[in-house]
Amino acid sequence: MTSKTPYEKILSVFEGKGVNRVPWNIRHEFWYHYNLTRGTLPAKYAGMRLIDICLEWGASWRCYSGYFTDSFVKVSHAGDVEIEAFTNGRTVTTEFKTPKGTLRQVSMKDDLEITSRIIEFPVKSLEDLKPLRYILENLKVEFDEETYNRMEQELKGQGIVSYFFPRSPYQSIMLEYAGLERTMRFLLKYRREIEGFMEVIKASNDMFYKVMADTPIKIFNLGENIDARMTPPRLFEKYCLPYYQERADYLHRKGKYVHIHVDGYAKPLLPLLRESGLDGVEALTVKPVGDMTLEDIKRDLGDETVILDGIPYIYFIPEAVSLDEFDRFVRKIISMFRDNLVLGISDELPPPSDETRVMRVSKIIDEAEKNKNLKY
């Protein structure tokens, strides 16, 4: 009998069938590109493909479209939208010109110019919602099957090729369009207008769901960057939960699975996540990085919710966590979540990691399979 590929094992976990060996599924793209750019990438990895590094470590790859890879989702503008970007050092100013007005966004690149963050959000007044609405209503979304097939061929089942959907309306306004402070202020002063605009964002997102639900991809990521300090339970229940339930129901009817990225302080949200209808939660981060314990996750999410990741990134930094503590934690999480776990790093392998610890996880998984009845 042919053994299952890592992809087939991950799919089995989502199907609730369990596996004979916990999948070890990582995201290491930033680790690779940061060290490559800085000149600190170990020489033996120079010229290696990301998937080959995973195989070297005894892991599989969770590969997302467009995240340090090619994108198989092509987004364009059907209307009269002109986008101009101006670079000044590490600062990038982008103007979005439409018949309804012009938006201005300023981003700052990091020291190595690998990532960037928004330092001036495009929506500064209610008037700015007019050009943003025009942009959203004139998006065109296409699935690039050729690029997807090439990426699948590269992995050959040694991981999953997946896709982050656009953020929910509340998260989009807060993290992409207006920023946290302005979003809170707008919700207090202009609740009706902002809630109305959330429907515009939702309708725009519909296009992505309709296109992607008809693709061969079986496991999707709802996106998001949830943190209870920015999305407390009251706002989560009002603005996020109904959206998640609707999206999960739609994708389930299409024969798909969907999970959500939650990498911040989220202990108060765990019971609500169980009500979301989503199949899994990615990147939950326990103490000392996050605000929860493995016991909290077990109690509030139960055995039906797939747990993706679980090992806090700090555990891969020897100066922060001893090897004995590392081993104990990995054994414990496998013991507690064996049948609903896609083991990974919450949420990515950090640049200063000791990569031998990645290989060590694979050995601990093998050890755990030989001693399934042990509790840690």
Q: E strand or H helix at 165, and its extent? A: none
How many C-beta atoms surround the C-beta of residue 17 within 10 A? 10
Contact 123, 129 (CB under 8 A): yes
Backbone angles phi, psi at 156, to 5 degrees: 55, 40
pLDDT computed for residue 369 by the predictor: 86
The identity of residue 17, as a single letter, is: K
Of the given ranges (140-149, 305-314, 346-355, 364-373), which has the lowest mean pLDDT?
A: 364-373
Average pLDDT over every residue of 311-340: 97
Q: Find the mean pLDDT for residues 269-289.
A: 97
- Asked if residue 156 has pLDDT above 90, the reply is yes
Which tokens in the block code for residue 324? 């004995």
Token pair listed for 38: 């800085």
pLDDT at 70 over 50: yes
The whole-angstrom separation of Cα 90 and Cα 103 is 20
Largest CA distance in the chain: 66
**CA 230 – CA 291 distance, rounded (Å):** 14
Residue 3 predicted with pLDDT over 90: no
Q: 1 pLDDT exceeds 60?
A: no
State the average pLDDT over residues 120-125: 98
Task: Quote the pLDDT of residue 150.
Answer: 98
Question: What is the per-residue pLDDT across 4-26, written as a single tens digit (0 to 9) for each?
Answer: 999 999 999 999 998 989 999 99
Residue 106 has pLDDT above 80, yes or no: yes
Residue 342: closest CA among 28, 60, 39:
60
Residue spans of the domains in the chain: they are 79-126
- pLDDT of res. 376: 47
48-57 confidence digits (pLDDT tens): 999 999 999 9
> Whole-angstrom Cα distance, residue 19 to residue 4?
9
**Quick one: pLDDT at residue 165?**
98
Q: Which two tokens stand for residue 114?
A: 């690998």
In the chain, the percentage of residues whose pLDDT exceeds 90 is 95
Q: What are the E-state strand segments in the chain?
A: 25-26, 60-64, 73-77, 82-88, 91-98, 101-109, 116-120, 139-143, 159-162, 219-221, 257-261, 280-282, 306-308, 311-312, 341-342, 345-346
Distance CA 152, CA 159 (A): 9
- C-alpha–C-alpha distance, residues 311 and 296, integer Å: 15
Whether 210 contacts 140, CB under 8 Å: no
Residues in the chain: 376
Q: Minimal CA–CA distance to 122: which of 66, 175, 186? A: 175
Per-residue confidence (pLDDT) for residue 375, from 0 to 100: 54
Confidence grade of residue 374 (pLDDT, cut at 50, 70, 90): low
Q: Which residue has the higher pLDDT, 374 or 18?
A: 18
